[in-house]
Amino acid sequence: MTARGALQLSEKDNVATLLEDAAPGTGVLIRLGKETSTVKAGESIPFGFKIALTDIAKGAAIIKYGETIGIASCDIKKGEMVHIHNLEGGRGRGDLMKGEVK
């Protein structure tokens, strides 16, 4: 079990931000205000990167700060790292047609 764990910023969020490095298989303490829960890290996730709090299906919104920060570009399993390899931002995308997200 990690000590500082990860910070969940809103109850709507499906990701939390690691406050320390997490090794694969480690239980990560998820802190939301005074509430805590545990998610097992599915892979190595460094400080400052995001961990999935639930399974997130391809095409579903990824929520942080209670707001959409992007769309899952593939199925993401609970405990996996969420970053540019599986999260697709949708705003300001000159490479996409309007409103289109891969």
Partner 1 sequence: MNFMGYERPDGSAGIRNHVLVIPWGFLAAKICDFVDGTKTILSPDSGSGRTSRDRETIARTLIGLGRNPNVASVIVHTLSAGVGYPELAPARLAGEIARSGKRVEILDVVKEGGTLKALEKGVQLAREMVLEASRLRRQPFDLSQLAVGVKCGASDTTSGIAGNPVIGNLFDRIIAAGGTAFFGETTEIIGAEHILSKRGINAEVSRQILEAAARTEADAKATGDDIRTVNPVPSNIAGGISSLEEKSLGAIHKSGSAPIQAVLKYGERPEGKGLYFVDNWMSMGSIFAGYAASGAQLVIFQLGGGGFFGHDLLFTSTAVVSPLMWTTANPKTLAMAPTSLDFYSGTVIEGKDTIEEAGGKLLQLVLDVASGTMTKVETLRHTDPTQIYLRDPSF
Interface residues toward partner 1, by CB under 8 A: 4, 7, 9, 17, 19, 46-50, 64-65, 67-70, 82-84, 87-96, 98
Which lies closer to partner 1 via its Cβ, residue 24 or residue 89? 89
Residue 29 beta carbon to partner 1: minimum distance, rounded to whole angstroms: 12
The length of the chain is 102
Q: Which residues of 8-44 are buried (b: 16+ CB within 10 A; e: fewer)?
A: bbeeebbbbbbbbebeeebebbbbbeeeeeebebbee
Nearer to partner 1, 40 or 93 (CB): 93
